[in-house]
Chains A and B, each alone.
Chain A
Amino acid sequence: EAGVTQFPSHSVIEKGQTVTLRCDPISGHDNLYWYRRVMGKEIKFLLHFVKESKQDESGMPNNRFLAERTGGTYSTLKVQPAELEDSGVYFCASKIYSGNTIYFGEGSWLTVV
């Protein structure tokens, strides 16, 4: 069974540009999460989808970040316009509705220059 997959694995963009990260959760997992780790800091929660609905987006840093999960399958996280402080690793994770275990993808490493 495929795990959580993320694309792209690495991205280097200039300040002011737009980047869209994609996450495909494990098949059948209704819960989808986005997390971020900036250099040297802890992994921080960004938001949580249950199917296509945003359950909790309290961790989203500002309105330059937009997450969608149309159809309740894959999700995208768009950063527009990107700033230097957005550099870091963006992790997607998913969980089956009734379970505790949250499975993480390998991350999308974003560098804004």
Chain B
Amino acid sequence: GENVEQHPSTLSVQEGDSAVIKCTYSDSASNYFPWYKQELGKGPQLIIDIRSNVGEKKDQRIAVTLNKTAKHFSLHITETQPEDSAVYFCASHSGGGADGLTFGKGTHLIIQP
């Protein structure tokens, strides 16, 4: 089955700097890659997603890049703000096999004031 690796597990950056979180996946049939943000005591909230026919997608300060050949995708947050502090999860959805998303283990992003 699909396996998603996510790094780093914890990331601390100064407010205003950029943050990058990286994920790799194993199933070449995977075709959909969402990123979720989970704040304390809340459920995961979709912040951006990308399909396998696109290499990059941007939404204001957030961007996601996908390299299908290398089977990795990354989340980029620019001009970080205190409210960006949360746990971020990458996920993949395989075109075949199980219907559900396969998640990475999460990255705890800490924005230092």
B89 neighbours in A (Cβ, 8 Å): 42-43
Majority secondary structure of chain A interface residues (helix, strand, loop or mixed)? strand
In the assembly, what is the distance between CA of A96 and CA of B64, in Å?
Answer: 24
Known contacts A91-B44, A100-B32, A102-B46; A56 and B99 CB within 8 A of each other: yes
B101 contacts the other chain (Cβ, under 8 Å)? yes
A44 contacts the other chain (Cβ, under 8 Å)? yes
Report the minimal beta-carbon distance from B27 to chain A, rounded to whole angstroms.
14
Query: What's the tally of chain B residues with a CB closer than 8 Å to chain A?
Result: 23
Which of A13-21, A61-69, A73-81, A103-111 is found at the contact surface with chain B? A103-111
A41 touches B105 (CB 8 A): yes
B106 neighbours in A (Cβ, 8 Å): 42-43
Query: What's the tally of chain A residues with a CB closer than 8 Å to chain B?
Result: 24
B101 neighbours in A (Cβ, 8 Å): 35, 43, 45, 102
Report the minimal beta-carbon distance from A60 to chain B, rounded to whole angstroms.
11
Looking across the interface, which residue of chain A has its beta carbon closest to that of B105? A42
In the assembly, what is the distance between CA of A58 and CA of B104, in Å?
Answer: 18
B98 touches A44 (CB 8 A): no
Q: List 13 A-B contacts (CB under 8 A).
A: A33-B99, A35-B100, A42-B89, A42-B103, A43-B44, A43-B89, A45-B101, A48-B99, A56-B98, A104-B43, A106-B42, A106-B43, A107-B42
Where the two chains meet, the residues of A that have a C-beta atom closer than 8 Å to any C-beta of B are 4, 33, 35, 41-48, 55-56, 58-59, 91, 100-107
